[in-house]
Chains A and B, each alone.
Chain A
């Protein structure tokens, strides 16, 4: 199936831990993104990468570090997790970083709960 897939779907962890979320797309897109959806359903971009190169870093704390080993993968590593990091994290991809009519394909989300 062609898609954006992210793992894990659910992640429950204690404050202070370090965790990673993985994302892979097999759509052949050049650009990948991480978005955060808070408890009020508000979606905000965190990062975008185009062909493994960081192009957007939207004032995210440096405890969050994205890594793109190749253009089909964009992983998100979070150090020293805090309660406020609890959210749903969505990975997405698009063919063109300028925005196109094809839109952006989103993964199904990773629900992170920090306790």
Chain B
């Protein structure tokens, strides 16, 4: 089946690292994505990882993929108040016409 799960809330202090976790069930996923949604706004692609990679780093963002456990994480280093938003994990499935399966979103709250 197709299911992506995330914890709903995360609260951190400014300057700390944030780690947002995601698990998925479909092993035929090709790409896994992290999107950010600020209040009242659309979805902004933050980063992605191809399913045959273990890790990807992009400035303050580090994505780790454990394909065996079907676990994806997003680490944000030196979290800032501007990082407060909802973060969605999503997977695209091979041969599914480009369908993205989204997690429920993790609301990140950064306290000064």
The contact string, 1 if C-beta is below 8 Å from chain B, for chain A 44-70, is 110010100001101000000000000
CB interface residues, A 91-115, toward B, < 8 Å? 92, 94, 96-101, 103-109
Report the contact-size class of chain A (Cβ under 8 Å from the partner).
Answer: 20 to 34
Looking across the interface, which residue of chain B has its beta carbon closest to that of A54? B97
Chain B interface SS verdict (over half): strand
**Which single member of A45, A48, A90, A99 contacts B42 (CB below 8 Å)?**
A90
A35 CA / B105 CA spacing, docked (Å): 15
CB interface residues, B 18-47, toward A, < 8 Å? 30-31, 33, 35, 37, 41-45
Number of A-B contacts (CB under 8 A): 75
Most chain A CB within a 10 A radius of its CB, from B97, B98, B100, B104: B98
Looking across the interface, which residue of chain B has its beta carbon closest to that of A45? B99
A50 CA / B97 CA spacing, docked (Å): 8
A45 CA / B101 CA spacing, docked (Å): 8
| CB of B93 within 8 Å of the partner chain | yes
Which B residues lie at the A interface, using CB under 8 A?
30-31, 33, 35, 37, 41-45, 48, 50, 86, 88, 90, 92-100, 102, 104-105
Given contacts A41-B104, A45-B99, A98-B30, 4 further A-B contacts (CB under 8 A): A41-B37, A99-B94, A99-B98, A103-B33
